[in-house]
Structure 1
């Protein structure tokens, strides 16, 4: 078995997602040897263990790995929490949680100027399941900026409170900090934020609110009404949007009224975060990068995240080198769009700092001295290029390989965690929304039709119209002909 594993090790290194069936076909093609899929599956497990390491043994080396990280990145915070032990004389401690926050990310976050963080969690799979908790900010160019992460036993109020307490210490956030968080409305997380930061502004992701809303009120009409209310930047416009919802559907209006507007509408955001973000896509994007590593051993997983964070800083610095002007690329693009629309604006000067700006039936008051506008659209954003560059002035340093690690001086050895049954079944891919399911089903149906066409063509040796949608020339529509076309005949 080890010989077979050695033979397929190169294939596993390049394409680790190959199935046992595909590996079996490749092995038979190379060596002309018949193997069963079960044998190839066992060989793949051995090859992956050689590549990624052993799930159990990596916990015993975890303290040495942490020492190397702290040595290369001084000022970073890495905390390991273990299960309570009744016998203090035991030389082993059972792993429970680990929290990682690199000093380079903390230093950069303090230059962001945006007191906004997204919170989310995703499943850890493999031999020891758990959850990866992530906290992600947004930089000046509206791109994700990971700040810290943790691997915990489960996503619950207790683990979130532990995570937020450590995060507050690293970011110097007092208990009564007026900070801003955005999340997907997990019950345990809501309670944890209220407990650790009772005065924080906690926004809810509008996409998840809409997913709950569309279970009862489906269609583009209700979707447009909801996002019109959430996107309103001033209270009068928000009230107008809610009044329109009330006239359209009273039940939907009452359902939305139960959620505080400060949690989901820009009109009620404080503006301290300098971000008008309504969606928690930052955490979703970061979690997507972790899909291929969530079933790996603990050190392999931590190393993958460190390498990704390092490469991201390098990528952004290359982007900054090509930027020109005083504004970030996103703000420069928005400024160019404003210049093309300025001919439609009617500006009237009131005094040295106050101006009245009018476009169609909308009118705003701009104060140049205070840099404010009654529409509040620009009060919620920040966009200077110099600030964006200062965020990425620090790097996360690499460490040598395991054979060069210094053994830890800690008298106890960490052992693998308990098996914690997760709430819900871990999915390989994210849960699809209702509209996405229909599109996916239509795509699969069309793919089956194409496969049928290919089978008929190979059997008959000629093309057929099976699976081919032909448009009718008079109206340009599909699925009918001249006898069933309902379009009016043009004279």
Structure 2
């Protein structure tokens, strides 16, 4: 039990090696996996029991964290044995809401990850970037997939999952939108093969001016005319190429890597019962925020955060040989000190 508690994902082969070294015996791998399942149930509780605790968990969150948002939803079933079935739970603590509104960039990353439990489902995380360009978890939810607002000042970046698209269009239609270019490029590669087309896509996606974007699109047109039509079908250019992003957001992220990195920190917790998973997320975010607050109290320069200072210094260094030529209306032609190239 101690070995499985230390590593919930321990393999049957490793367990057999432990048995062999300690007791000179071995068992079938299938038997060991059954034993691991029973042990994990003993340690973490059962999945069935865990769902039954969720209503009480929601009430506890609201009682102990005033002005936090905690919602648990159930669906009626035509069954005497099971009158209600869990559909979703949403958690956002008051400190997260306050920190998000007062200290984060106007970009929200939304990403789903599979819950590896007995009943499956999806863990949906909403992550922002703070003034130091570090992850700031806002809220998280777990929902079970079935067959079947306002937000003028915020921008949502996500992949084009059907469930996310439907929810945003219905509940937050006025929020700005961005698509994760990493997911777009994966679909692009399936249709347009070869490293050239892949490179052309990223050149267009990362273009920071209209002039460069037009040049990149012309290159795509020359390589494959249908590729330009594929990009047009995605939607407005402000959803996937940097030059068209809303400058008021003050963030040029075009990938959801920062959300995925948060989901990756959960690791094996996604295999645990739902209540244990929720408590694991709460504890991870609590420690993250407390540790970050302690470090920020020692900052000397209060005008810019340390990560931003490093970025500005890097940009200054990279642009030290550049010259700017005024072309009118706030536009400049930039020439660096390197020899011109084709």
Instruction: Report the TM-score, using the length of structure 2 for normalisation.
Output: 0.87
Shift of 1:261: 1.1
Report if aligned partners of 2:114, 2:121 keep a CA contact under 8 Å in 1: yes
Aligned to 1:70: 62
Alignment partner, residue 273 of structure 1 = 249
Cα distance change on mapping 1:308 and 1:265 into 2, 3 Å: same
Q: Secondary structure at the match of 2:9?
A: coil
Q: Which residue of 1 aligns with 2:340?
A: none
Cα distance in structure 2, aligned partners of 1:34 and 1:188: 46
Q: Is residue 194 from structure 1 mapped to residue 185 from structure 2 by the alignment?
A: no
CA contact (8 A) 1:347 1:355 kept: no
- For 1:183, which of 133, 136, 158 is the aligned residue? 158
Q: Going by fraction, where is helix more abundant, 1 or 2?
A: 2
**RMSD (CA atoms):** 2.9
For 1:183-262, what aligned pairs fall within 5 Å after superposition? Answer: 183-259=158-234, 260-262=236-238
Aligned equivalent of 1:149:
140
Query: Which shifted more, 230-239 or 132-141?
Result: 230-239
* Correspondence 1:322-471 to 2 at 5 A: 323-325=299-301, 326-341=303-318, 343-346=320-323, 359-360=334-335
Helix, strand or coil at the partner of 2:13:
helix
Q: Distance in 2 between matches of 1:193 and 1:103?
A: 23
Paired with 2:118 and 2:81, the residues of 1 have a C-alpha distance of: 25
Whole-Å separation in 1 of the counterparts to 2:140 and 2:316? 41
| Partner deviation per Cα, 1:424-478 (whole Å, 9 max, x = no partner) | xxxxxxxxxxxxxxxxxxxxxxxxxxxxxxxxxxxxxxxxxxxxxxxxxxxxxxx
Q: How far has the Cα of 1:155 moved from its partner? A: 7.2
With a CA cutoff of 8 Å and minimum separation of 6, indicate the structure with the bigger relative contact order. 1
Q: Within 2, Cα distance between the matches of 1:238 and 1:217? A: 19
Q: What is residue 124 of structure 2 aligned with on the other side? A: 133
Are 1:120 and 2:134 an aligned pair?
A: no
Q: Structure 2 CA distance, aligned partners of 1:192 and 1:295?
A: 26
Give the secondary structure class of the aligned counterpart of 2:60. Answer: helix
Which residue in 1 is equivalent to 2:283? Answer: 307
Q: What count of residue pairs does the alignment treat as equivalent?
A: 334
Write the distance in 1 (CA, Å) between the matches of 2:26 and 2:326.
85
- 1:210-255: CA deviations, max 9, x gaps? 1111113233322222222212223232222212222232222222
| Residue 98 of structure 1 pairs with residue 89 of structure 2 | yes
Q: Distance in 2 between matches of 1:301 and 1:286?
A: 14
Give the match's secondary structure for 1:344.
coil
Shift of 1:92: 6.1
SS in 2 for 1:294: helix
Q: Distance in 2 between matches of 1:315 and 1:304?
A: 17
Return the offset for 1:113: 4.6
**Could you list the runs of 5+ residues in structure 1 that have no partner in the other structure?**
1-8, 159-173, 363-491
Cα distance 1:61–1:335, how it changes in 2: closer, same or farther (>3 A)? Answer: closer
Q: Could you say if the C-alpha distance between residues 90 and 177 of structure 1 is closer, same or farther in structure 2, counting changes exceeding 3 Å?
A: farther
| SS, match of residue 147 in structure 1 | strand
TM-score, normalised by the number of residues in structure 1? 0.62
Using the TM superposition, give the Cα deviation of residue 209 of structure 1 relative to its aligned residue in structure 2, in angstroms.
1.1
Moved more, 195-204 or 64-73: 64-73
Rounded to whole Å, the distance in 1 between the matches of 2:31 and 2:264 is 32
C-alpha contact (below 8 Å) 1:348/1:355 kept by paired residues: no
CA contact (8 A) 2:156 2:175 kept: yes
- What secondary structure does 1:110 align onto? helix
Kindly name which structure, 1 or 2, has the bigger radius of gyration based on alpha carbons.
Answer: 1
Describe the shift of the 1:91–1:339 C-alpha distance in structure 2 as closer, same or farther (beyond 3 A): closer
Q: Decide whether aligned partners of structure 1 residues 28 and 105 sit closer, same or farther in structure 2, where only a CA change above 3 A counts.
A: same
SS of the equivalent of 2:190 reads coil
Q: Distance in 2 between matches of 1:62 and 1:337?
A: 48
Q: 1:267 to 1:44 in 2, by over 3 A?
A: same
CA-to-partner distance for each residue in 1:248-298, whole Å, 9 max, x for gaps? 322222222222212101121122322111101122112212331222112
Segment of structure 1 superposing worse, 121-130 or 89-98: 89-98
Give the aligned partner of residue 49 of structure 2: 57
